[in-house]
Copies of this chain bind each other. A is one copy, B any other.
């Protein structure tokens, strides 16, 4: 099972982190991102979006970090990281949406500007971060983990770009519950870091 990967991508790290925590072996294929390898054949045929990560498992090809988490959890980890009852599945799905939209376009995008020079409006990214981080912190004030009161792929999805927020000029000092939760994730058996975390 191949993960087409970029070490500095938080989206790729979501997958590496979850695979490490769940003990799922992955063949990591480093992609020459600066050289545009993901925008050319053969990678662009696997993922027409021209983005990373991409997972290839036999005939199954997935292009989205959240979909890859769902796939790996459903196929290789039983119910441990992804509950399959309606309410549990939906509670996790809720955080995957938050990760794909508010976290990606808030702290995630702020980091793209500061660290990689992306031409995004920095003020908009900071405003989005300033809206979503207090909501996550308030949730974590009442819950130890994001969903189901235990570690799930919801935590793996939201963690990278929240923990990397300082690389986009977004401080986490004001969010004690987020900082506690970051600490909890770092203490999970099998945890692996990435540069900046």
What sequence of 0s and 1s flags, for each residue 126-141 of chain A, a beta carbon within 8 Å of any chain B beta carbon? 0000000001001100
User: Given B67, B87, B98, B139, which contacts A90 in the complex, CB threshold below 8 Å?
Assistant: B67
Residue A114 lies at the interface, judged by CB distance under 8 Å to chain B: no
Interface size class of A (residues with CB under 8 A): 35 or more
What separation, in Å, do the CA atoms of A62 and B101 have in the docked complex?
17
Give 23 A-B contacts (CB < 8 Å), ordered by A residue: A49-B135, A62-B91, A64-B93, A64-B97, A64-B98, A66-B97, A67-B93, A67-B97, A70-B86, A70-B90, A70-B93, A71-B90, A71-B93, A74-B86, A74-B90, A96-B100, A97-B97, A100-B100, A100-B101, A101-B104, A101-B105, A105-B105, A121-B124
